[in-house]
Amino acid sequence: MAERTLIILKPDAVQRGLVGSIIARFEQKGFQLIAAKFMKISKALAQKHYAVHKGKPFFERAVQYLSSSPVLVMVWQADDVIKMSRRLMGETFGTEAQPGTIRGDFGCSHGFNLIHGSDSPASAEVEIPLYFKPEELIDYPLAQAHWLYGPPDEA
Protein backbone atom coordinates (compact mmCIF):
# COMPACT_ATOMS: atom_id res chain seq x y z
CA MET A 1 0.00 0.00 0.00
CA ALA A 2 1.21 3.51 -0.79
CA GLU A 3 2.12 5.94 1.98
CA ARG A 4 -0.62 8.29 3.24
CA THR A 5 -0.53 11.84 4.55
CA LEU A 6 -3.01 14.22 6.11
CA ILE A 7 -3.20 17.57 4.35
CA ILE A 8 -5.22 20.48 5.74
CA LEU A 9 -5.90 23.59 3.70
CA LYS A 10 -6.03 26.03 6.58
CA PRO A 11 -8.41 28.97 7.14
CA ASP A 12 -6.30 31.45 5.16
CA ALA A 13 -6.15 29.13 2.12
CA VAL A 14 -9.95 28.72 2.18
CA GLN A 15 -10.68 32.41 2.80
CA ARG A 16 -8.29 33.50 0.03
CA GLY A 17 -9.87 31.16 -2.54
CA LEU A 18 -6.72 29.06 -3.02
CA VAL A 19 -8.28 25.61 -2.51
CA GLY A 20 -8.49 24.71 -6.22
CA SER A 21 -5.00 25.97 -7.01
CA ILE A 22 -3.47 24.00 -4.15
CA ILE A 23 -5.38 20.78 -4.89
CA ALA A 24 -4.29 21.06 -8.53
CA ARG A 25 -0.64 20.90 -7.47
CA PHE A 26 -1.19 17.63 -5.62
CA GLU A 27 -3.15 16.17 -8.53
CA GLN A 28 -0.58 17.29 -11.08
CA LYS A 29 2.18 15.70 -9.01
CA GLY A 30 0.29 12.41 -9.25
CA PHE A 31 -0.98 12.00 -5.69
CA GLN A 32 -4.21 10.07 -5.16
CA LEU A 33 -6.97 11.74 -3.14
CA ILE A 34 -8.62 9.12 -0.93
CA ALA A 35 -10.62 11.30 1.50
CA ALA A 36 -11.78 14.91 1.82
CA LYS A 37 -13.93 16.82 4.27
CA PHE A 38 -14.85 20.51 4.42
CA MET A 39 -15.31 21.40 8.06
CA LYS A 40 -14.80 23.85 10.88
CA ILE A 41 -12.34 22.37 13.35
CA SER A 42 -13.42 22.74 16.98
CA LYS A 43 -11.02 24.18 19.52
CA ALA A 44 -10.90 20.76 21.25
CA LEU A 45 -9.95 19.01 18.00
CA ALA A 46 -7.35 21.68 17.20
CA GLN A 47 -5.83 21.08 20.66
CA LYS A 48 -5.62 17.34 19.92
CA HIS A 49 -4.10 18.07 16.52
CA TYR A 50 -1.39 20.28 18.03
CA ALA A 51 -0.96 18.20 21.22
CA VAL A 52 2.75 17.61 20.49
CA HIS A 53 3.26 21.37 20.79
CA LYS A 54 1.37 21.85 24.08
CA GLY A 55 3.36 24.08 26.40
CA LYS A 56 5.18 25.85 23.58
CA PRO A 57 4.67 29.63 23.22
CA PHE A 58 2.78 29.32 19.92
CA PHE A 59 0.38 26.53 20.99
CA GLU A 60 -2.67 28.64 21.84
CA ARG A 61 -2.18 30.88 18.80
CA ALA A 62 -1.98 27.81 16.53
CA VAL A 63 -5.15 26.32 18.07
CA GLN A 64 -7.01 29.61 17.62
CA TYR A 65 -5.87 29.91 14.00
CA LEU A 66 -6.80 26.35 12.99
CA SER A 67 -10.24 26.64 14.59
CA SER A 68 -11.01 30.18 13.36
CA SER A 69 -12.67 29.41 10.00
CA PRO A 70 -13.49 26.45 7.71
CA VAL A 71 -10.74 24.20 6.40
CA LEU A 72 -10.48 21.41 3.86
CA VAL A 73 -9.06 18.23 5.39
CA MET A 74 -7.77 15.57 2.99
CA VAL A 75 -5.87 12.32 2.85
CA TRP A 76 -3.58 11.79 -0.12
CA GLN A 77 -1.58 8.72 -0.95
CA ALA A 78 1.39 7.91 -3.18
CA ASP A 79 4.81 6.35 -2.86
CA ASP A 80 6.84 8.74 -0.65
CA VAL A 81 3.87 11.15 -0.45
CA ILE A 82 5.03 12.70 2.83
CA LYS A 83 8.47 13.69 1.59
CA MET A 84 7.11 14.95 -1.73
CA SER A 85 4.20 16.89 -0.21
CA ARG A 86 6.51 18.60 2.30
CA ARG A 87 8.66 19.76 -0.62
CA LEU A 88 5.57 21.01 -2.48
CA MET A 89 4.45 22.96 0.60
CA GLY A 90 7.79 24.69 1.18
CA GLU A 91 9.19 26.25 4.33
CA THR A 92 6.72 26.87 7.17
CA PHE A 93 6.04 30.52 6.38
CA GLY A 94 5.68 32.28 3.04
CA THR A 95 8.25 34.86 4.03
CA GLU A 96 10.90 32.10 3.95
CA ALA A 97 9.53 29.65 1.38
CA GLN A 98 11.06 29.29 -2.07
CA PRO A 99 9.13 30.34 -5.19
CA GLY A 100 7.55 27.32 -6.83
CA THR A 101 6.29 25.93 -3.52
CA ILE A 102 2.74 26.41 -2.28
CA ARG A 103 3.80 28.68 0.57
CA GLY A 104 6.41 30.42 -1.57
CA ASP A 105 3.93 31.24 -4.33
CA PHE A 106 0.84 32.03 -2.24
CA GLY A 107 2.10 32.98 1.24
CA CYS A 108 3.41 36.31 2.47
CA SER A 109 2.69 35.98 6.19
CA HIS A 110 4.98 35.04 9.02
CA GLY A 111 1.96 33.91 11.03
CA PHE A 112 -0.46 32.17 8.69
CA ASN A 113 0.93 29.33 6.59
CA LEU A 114 -1.91 28.08 4.34
CA ILE A 115 -1.43 24.33 4.69
CA HIS A 116 -0.61 21.48 7.05
CA GLY A 117 0.94 18.18 6.05
CA SER A 118 1.97 15.22 8.17
CA ASP A 119 5.73 15.34 8.80
CA SER A 120 6.28 11.58 9.13
CA PRO A 121 4.46 8.27 8.71
CA ALA A 122 4.06 8.14 12.51
CA SER A 123 2.42 11.60 12.51
CA ALA A 124 0.10 10.57 9.68
CA GLU A 125 -0.99 7.51 11.67
CA VAL A 126 -1.97 9.76 14.58
CA GLU A 127 -3.46 12.64 12.55
CA ILE A 128 -5.60 10.83 9.98
CA PRO A 129 -7.88 9.14 12.57
CA LEU A 130 -8.51 12.53 14.22
CA TYR A 131 -10.49 13.52 11.12
CA PHE A 132 -11.51 10.32 9.31
CA LYS A 133 -13.00 6.95 10.20
CA PRO A 134 -11.36 4.00 8.39
CA GLU A 135 -14.43 3.54 6.17
CA GLU A 136 -14.12 7.15 4.97
CA LEU A 137 -10.75 6.39 3.33
CA ILE A 138 -11.64 5.28 -0.18
CA ASP A 139 -9.00 3.01 -1.64
CA TYR A 140 -9.35 2.52 -5.41
CA PRO A 141 -7.07 1.70 -8.33
CA LEU A 142 -5.42 4.79 -9.75
CA ALA A 143 -5.79 4.65 -13.53
CA GLN A 144 -2.60 6.61 -14.14
CA ALA A 145 -0.40 4.60 -11.74
CA HIS A 146 1.48 2.91 -14.60
CA TRP A 147 2.39 6.32 -16.04
CA LEU A 148 3.48 7.66 -12.67
CA TYR A 149 5.49 4.74 -11.32
CA GLY A 150 6.18 2.56 -14.37
CA PRO A 151 5.22 -1.08 -14.71
CA PRO A 152 5.16 -3.18 -11.54
CA ASP A 153 8.48 -4.76 -10.62
CA GLU A 154 8.67 -8.35 -11.72
CA ALA A 155 9.74 -10.70 -8.97
CATH number, domain with residue 10: 3.30.70.141
**Domain that includes residue 52, residue range:** 3-78+115-140
Task: List residues with catalytic annotation.
Answer: 116
Number of domains forming the structure of the chain: 1
Contact (Cβ atoms closer than 8 angstroms) between residue 95 and residue 107: yes
pTM of this structure: 0.94
pLDDT tens column, 86-130: 999 999 999 999 999 999 999 998 889 999 999 999 999 999 999
For the four alpha carbons of 117, 52, 97 and 21, in that order, the dihedral sign comes to positive
Q: Is 69 exposed, middle or buried (0-12, 13-18, 19+ CB in 10 A)?
A: middle
pLDDT tens column, 56-73: 999 999 999 999 999 999
CA–CA distance, 11 with 69 (Å, rounded to integer)? 5
Residue 85 belongs to some domain of the structure: no
